[in-house]
């Protein structure tokens, strides 16, 4: 057997293996670790906490400026 024939045979095996793995992966249904509703609630909660902290910081800054 010629070396080119062996490489061609290995290339064909790799191509079929790649096709098999590609189609096999698409069949699996992915599940998300968190639902979109939970994600939105988490983001809103973080945004609200950030807003509260900034509001408090601005109040403190205003008090300091009024005292000066």
Helical H runs in the chain? 3-27, 36-67
What digits encode the pLDDT tens for the residues 4-39?
Answer: 999 999 999 999 999 998 887 766 666 777 788 888
d(CA 25, CA 29): 9
The pLDDT assigned to 3 comes to: 92
| 0.85 surpassed by pTM | no
Structure tokens at 22: 């590609």
| pLDDT, greater one: 68 or 38 | 38
The pLDDT assigned to 33 comes to: 79
């Amino acid at each position: 057997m010629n070396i080119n024939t062996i490489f061609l045979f290995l290339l064909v095996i790799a191509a079929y293996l790649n096709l098999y793995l590609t189609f096999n992966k698409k069949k699996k249904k992915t599940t998300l670790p968190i639902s979109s509703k939970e994600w939105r609630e988490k983001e809103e909660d973080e945004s609200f906490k950030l807003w509260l902290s900034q509001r408090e910081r601005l109040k403190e800054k205003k008090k300091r400026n009024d005292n000066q």
